[in-house]
Amino acid sequence: MPELPEVETVRRGLSQLIIGKVVSGEVHDTEKGFPNAAHDVQQFLIGASVTEVRRRAKVLMIDLSTDYSLLIHLKMTGQLVFVGETRFGAGHPNDSLVNELPDKSTRVTLTFEDGTKLFFNDQRKFGWMRLMPTIEIPNISFMQKVGPEPLSADFTAKDFIQRLARRPKTNIKAALLDQSVVAGIGNIYADESLWGAKIHPTRLVSSLTEAEMTLLYTEVRAVMNLSVEKGGSSNSTYVNAEGKKGSYMDFARVFRREGLACPRCGATIEKLRVAGRGTHICPVCQAI
């Protein structure tokens, strides 16, 4: 899925596109994609207007005037695509989506009173959308355990080091992917950050020096900030709220670049398996 930069890109897009819109009675869903009781949908979604679009870690929250929210996790292949038939001109990438959506991956379709639509698509069906009272969001188990936002101004290197210290016997890649340590890092940005800090992904957290962890903190933030700026990374399924792809992969230094030259030292990038995930490294820069 979409990691923090991709979800943030979707959030920014949706903020521009759907705040103030009113959900009409035309809501289509599948049991898997939208498992809320029908009476909740009727009472708290239909007729509600969108007041805010928020993000915490990789979870999106669409707040409604009924004091309910739609919570959405895109997991690996989820998309939230807004289609406004009159909003985009001919030739705009969104234009073709008017006729392409819904498709077989569409799990939920929301229609607004002005005729525009929001599609929740998910090829692999790992993602979810859930309607719940806004005030109860902080109580769900994920929100209780999720770590700090890595790009927030008050997240410091000291915080990062202290939180890593809670997982001393695991490898650093698994620790970065652990959402209770820091929120929002996924497979792409874990690899990119470790390359930036010249740390081998199988190194145990307890073996890292303070200087290495401080550098890793800087790299995590730099990589995430760059990706947010570039609209995230796109493989085959990720698109933003307007159905467009992000360009971070043009800037990736190791992720999915196995067999190519390391941009720093020229050695050949390798792919291995760490923490059950495909992992990309420069064997020279990131020697154990």
Residue closer to DNA by CB (options 24, 179) is 179
Residue closer to DNA by CB (options 46, 140) is 140
Give the active site residues: 2-3, 58, 277
Residue closer to DNA by CB (options 46, 76) is 76
CA–CA distance, 213 with 156 (Å, rounded to integer): 12
- Contact yes or no for 11/60 (Cβ under 8 A): yes
Residue closer to DNA by CB (options 94, 105) is 105
Task: Supply the minimum distance, in Å, between the C-beta of residue 238 and DNA.
Answer: 3
Checking 42-46 for CB contacts under 8 A at 24+ apart, the result is: 44/68, 44/131, 45/70, 45/131
Give the DSSP H or E segment for 27. strand 23-29
Question: Looking at residue 213, what DSSP letter applies?
Answer: H
Residues lying near DNA in the complex (CB under 7 A): 1-3, 6, 57-58, 73, 75-76, 104-105, 123-126, 141-142, 166-171, 174, 177, 179, 186-188, 232-238, 246, 256, 273, 275-278
- Contact yes or no for 16/84 (Cβ under 8 A): no
Sign of CA dihedral 97, 103, 109, 111: positive
Task: Supply the minimum distance, in Å, between the C-beta of residue 90 and DNA.
Answer: 27
Residue closer to DNA by CB (options 143, 284) is 143
Q: 273 exposed, middle or buried (CB, 10 Å; 0-12, 13-18, 19+)? A: exposed
Which residues are bridge partners to 270 per DSSP? 281
Task: Supply the minimum distance, in Å, between the C-beta of residue 186 and DNA.
Answer: 2
Which residue from 127, 170, 136, 100 is spatially nearest to 32, judged by alpha carbons?
127
